[in-house]
Amino acid sequence: MSAVTSRPMQLFFVEFQELYARHLCRHSQLGINIVHLIALFGIWYAIYGLLYLIAGTEWVLFVPALLYLAALAPNIPMRVLAATTLFMAAILALAVFVPLPWWIYLPMLPAFYYLQAWSHKWFTIETDMTEFDRKYTKGTLLFIVLLLYEVPIVLHFLLTGGAKPAAEPSLHSNNQ
């Protein structure tokens, strides 16, 4: 039985459990998921911090955060959506209540990106991704899907203790 469905990869209707299974091929260790979550938090904090400095009002921060959560909601399990909402709330609170000078945010972006990339040298367990590579081909669509879903995927890993994908329902029942 194949772990990958025959449906093509899509931006708005993501097969979360399948994407999570793909994630486990390279990110099955606790440490790499923790490092990735820290790196993602740093990157998002820098982006939202810059946005807050440019806009000067906290209301501007809520629009992209709410749109992001709305895009995720139909495709991810409820508890992952709740955890992602808390993640976003922490970033927004930090951006508003602990603003940094712009010149600190700018180097944070590549620093946290490289932290995430370097973690692959520290945590090296991998499994074969051939089956997933057929559906999830490198390119713009995969980049955007992973950009949107990496936080929920890592949070799902941490919430489930790294469990293999289960038939946990999402709000959108695309796992049928």
CA torsion 97→103→109→115, rounded to 10°? -100
Residues constituting the chain: 176
Per-residue tokens: 34: 């923790």
On whether residue 23 sits in a domain, the answer given is yes
Number of domains in the chain: 1
What is the arithmetic mean of pLDDT over 144-171?
A: 84
Report the percentage of the chain scoring pLDDT > 90.
81
On whether residue 32 sits in a domain, the answer given is yes
On whether residue 168 sits in a domain, the answer given is no
- Round to whole Å and give the CA distance between 76 and 82: 10
- Round to whole Å and give the CA distance between 76 and 153: 9
Distances in whole angstroms, Cα of residue 23 to Cα of each of 32, 47, 130, 134, 137: 11, 24, 13, 15, 14
Distances in whole angstroms, Cα of residue 169 to Cα of each of 119, 152, 161: 31, 14, 18
pLDDT confidence of residue 10? 86
Q: Which of residues 174 and 45 earns the better pLDDT score?
A: 45
pLDDT confidence of residue 32? 96
Is residue 91 predicted with pLDDT exceeding 70? yes
- Give the HSE-up count for residue 134: Cα atoms under 13 Å, Cβ half-sphere: 9
Please give the model's pTM, rounded to 2 decimal places.
0.89
What is the arithmetic mean of pLDDT over 105-111?
A: 98
Confidence of residue 147 (pLDDT cuts 50, 70, 90): very high
Q: Which of residues 158 and 172 earns the better pLDDT score?
A: 158
pLDDT confidence of residue 120? 93
Confidence of residue 11 (pLDDT cuts 50, 70, 90): confident
On whether residue 147 sits in a domain, the answer given is yes
pLDDT in tens, 110-128: 999 999 999 999 999 999 9
Q: For residue 19, which amino acid is it?
A: L
Please report which residue ranges of the chain form alpha helices under DSSP H. 16-26, 30-55, 59-72, 78-97, 102-122, 130-135, 140-160
On whether residue 75 sits in a domain, the answer given is yes
Residue numbers of the domain that contains 94 = 16-160
CA torsion 67→86→19→15, rounded to 10°? -50
Confidence of residue 166 (pLDDT cuts 50, 70, 90): low
